[in-house]
Structure 1
């Protein structure tokens, strides 16, 4: 489309230049005709020994418009030179116009490339801004929710406290049983009772350990769900 428009513009300029050259040629012919009429009037006046100012109005107008008078052969040479000059300048103008049109097309292509680059840069900047906003939103959500590490640490601390309590409970009946055995040899029934209490305390400790393990598993599941998000 651009080349077609370029050729059309060049053709229109050639047509305008040809019309201008034809108009100049017509003016030159009219000027030569007036000059020939002036020469004829001057020759007739000289032959009749008359004053040049006693000519007709057309001759006077021709004399006023013509600066100098030349021979017809010289006029013909001037005509050829004028035509050659017109052809040369027409050819030069055509090539200059073609070069200017090519420069115009190149400039349009450069402007189009710059516009595309600017659009790509704007799109990249918008995408980067959206990514930053998404990261900020994720950071805010993570700050609002309790950390999985903190939850796991709290559960582990609770489990350790429960285990320590169970161990203390187990150690106390065992110490009481040892004291009763050393001090009162006849306290076998009390020792058996203490042993049963120790077994019950051990069972409670096992239950507490199982609860702590379950709490740790829950914390692990929560952490995996957060990572999956």
Structure 2
């Protein structure tokens, strides 16, 4: 009985170990930080055009904010953000009329073609002018998805952070990960992003193989 329990525990541990090894975040600086931000006064209550380390512009110029950011724009207070689970700073991209909107991107290297990858991030939104529905359009290679649609609240109020997840299957070993803010009316809504992670989805067969190999080895040693 003890041997059976030990083998079962070892198998679960082996599977968990495989998942942990494969769960390496391929995104550089998913926390959206920058060494020069925030600067005194804490923070600068204005648009700053600071791009987080490891990221580049997909269109326009995004900004770095954190929960202390609060300034007047169009006669209304900017926002009352709370911290995401990732904490620290976060990226704000404005929606523009039509198909335009401030975006951010990063090239991800070392991908395995045909392997599934799980993208996760947190999002929120804050109203700048008129109310609208807003979301992130996320592209990775040839695949494009949209995040959950967020309806902007009253001026000066931000929605709670919402977790998002998407599955992508790359067709090349190097692909661009792109986030573009979108809105129904293009009312210059602050669409906000933080805690970006991209990890390979563990192959169940690989985890099972490791677990079974461990069981066989341990059984032989017991005998």
Q: TM over 0.5, yes or no?
A: no
* Larger relative contact order (Cα-Cα within 8 Å, sequence gap ≥ 6): 2
- Larger proportion of helix: 1
TM-score (normalizing by structure 2): 0.26
